[in-house]
Amino acid sequence: MTYSERHTVRQAFGAPAVLAESEARKLLVDLCQLWRLTYGKGVSKLHEDLVECKRFFDPLARGQSLRERLSHLPKTPPTLRRALNPLGLPVIIDGGDDALLIGVEGRLLIDLLEEQLEGAEDLVVISPGRIAAAEHEALRIYRSWVLTKITQVVDLRSGRGKEVMQAIAVGVVLALLVNRSDSPEKAVVQPDPKSLEGSLIDSAVFAAAERFAHVVTGSDRRSSGEQHLKKGYGLSEARRRLAPKLAAAKRNGEVLLYIPAAYRQEVVEFLGRDLARRPALTRDKLALAFDQLTVAFRANSGNLAHQSMVFERPADTRDLRASLLSSFIRHRPEDVETMTTEGEVAIDVA
């Protein structure tokens, strides 16, 4: 059987599935050489190498990042180009500027060849079952990469994300809840931070949020960029987690920030559940943080009163406090293993 005849019978990612042992060994050496040129290191464990492929094949990678990485690829030696070019996609990709690169399918083909060459004498035959399994693995990998973004967004919105919500963002939401900003009529206007009016509104909300974050994390290292209701990280993080439960409605050229009354309890439940994932946070510390937030909010509420934006009622604030602590206690697991964004180390708590 000639090479071309074997090539049309069965393929593994476009490579012949039936090869002479010498052909298979030569192909394996060539693929491994290209792998080293592409990733700057030799072939390692399959799982680790497949993760490495995201450097060039991650669907979420920015075009600018890919262009930068491609520009650093070394030129593929002419002899290697001539040997591998016939394989083409998906095993071999032409990266331009005389540089070839290898990805997921190429690494899986390396694994197939290594497996079949063990004990081989005359012919290397990759069975249909092994080819199907490799193709399934490639599809599984690409599917997981494609679904990464939607999975991340869903996890964040449902409180299952790896990272806990930033304490400053929790404080911003709690400040809005304390103020009973639950409708457009009781909303806090998103101000221009460069204006005097804007700085007063920002200070009223962020004085409370800052006090809360300081008690929760023990840190007061906050950038000025977090302390604005317009383009500030604290609010953008909160909206990223809670949209559409944290509304930003436009009216007469203004952006109104509020938590619709229908979502109030759901938001409190979300915050309590997320705060419960912090290993170092106790019920007493959370109670103190909420009390400090309330004190700071009331001390600065005059800035909101000037704009007719103060709607806090002590009885409602007490109910909010009780609801938050109740949610926190319900979701405090016996064993906590989570990552945080506040510098806390994930540990197991018995």
Between these two residues, 219 and 19, which has the higher pLDDT value? 19
pLDDT surpassing 60 at residue 344: no
Residues facing 251 on adjacent strands: 254
pLDDT surpassing 80 at residue 217: yes
* pLDDT at res. 50: 93
pLDDT surpassing 70 at residue 7: no
Taking the C-alpha atoms of residue 200 and residue 193, their distance in angstroms, rounded to an integer, is 9
Among 57-66, 135-144, 159-168, 215-224, the minimum mean pLDDT is found in 215-224
CA dihedral 141, 147, 152, 157 (to 10 degrees): -150
The count of other CB atoms within 10 Å of the CB of residue 130 is 16
Taking the C-alpha atoms of residue 12 and residue 235, their distance in angstroms, rounded to an integer, is 51
Alpha-helical regions (H) of the chain: 3-9, 21-39, 46-52, 54-57, 63-71, 78-84, 104-117, 128-146, 148-158, 167-178, 196-217, 233-242, 264-275, 283-305, 314-331
Q: Which two tokens stand for residue 131?
A: 């080819």
Taking the C-alpha atoms of residue 46 and residue 52, their distance in angstroms, rounded to an integer, is 10
**CB 103 within 8 Å of CB 37:** no
pLDDT surpassing 70 at residue 2: no
12 alpha carbon, distance to own chain's centre? 33
Q: Which two tokens stand for residue 146?
A: 């494609």
Taking the C-alpha atoms of residue 28 and residue 234, their distance in angstroms, rounded to an integer, is 52
* pLDDT at res. 221: 54
**CB 69 within 8 Å of CB 50:** no
Q: Which two tokens stand for residue 5?
A: 């005849």
For the chain, percent of residues with pLDDT exceeding 90: 51
**CB 158 within 8 Å of CB 152:** no
Among 8-12, 59-63, 239-243, 285-289, the minimum mean pLDDT is found in 8-12
Backbone angles phi, psi at 89, to 5 degrees: -70, 145
Among 24-33, 135-144, 214-223, 315-324, the minimum mean pLDDT is found in 214-223
State pTM to two decimals.
0.58
Nearest to 28 by CA among 138, 111, 137: 111
**CB 106 within 8 Å of CB 91:** yes
Following DSSP, what letter does each residue of 22-44 receive, concatenated?
HHHHHHHHHHHHHHHHHHSS---
pLDDT, tens digit (0-9, with 9 covering 90-100), for 100-142:
999 999 999 999 999 999 877 788 888 899 999 999 999 999 9
Q: Residue 151 to residues 63, 156, 250, 273, 307: CA-CA distances in angstroms?
A: 22, 9, 29, 19, 41
* pLDDT at res. 350: 31
Taking the C-alpha atoms of residue 13 and residue 91, their distance in angstroms, rounded to an integer, is 7
Q: Which two tokens stand for residue 240?
A: 């990223």
Among 66-75, 228-237, 262-271, 321-330, the minimum mean pLDDT is found in 228-237
* pLDDT at res. 314: 95
pLDDT, tens digit (0-9, with 9 covering 90-100), for 171-208:
999 999 999 999 999 988 776 655 545 566 777 788 89
* pLDDT at res. 305: 65
The average pLDDT across 20-42 equals 94
- 11-12/15-16 β-pairing: antiparallel
Residues facing 123 on adjacent strands: 20
Mean pLDDT, all residues of the chain: 83
Backbone angles phi, psi at 35, to 5 degrees: -60, -45
Among 55-69, 77-91, 141-155, 170-184, the minimum mean pLDDT is found in 141-155
Q: pLDDT grade, residue 256 (50/70/90)?
A: confident
**Highest averaged pLDDT of the listed ranges 11-15, 47-51, 254-258:** 47-51
pLDDT, tens digit (0-9, with 9 covering 90-100), for 277-301:
999 999 999 999 999 999 999 988 8
* pLDDT at res. 147: 85
- Torsion 8-12-13-15 (CA) sign: negative
CA dihedral 172, 262, 272, 150 (to 10 degrees): -80
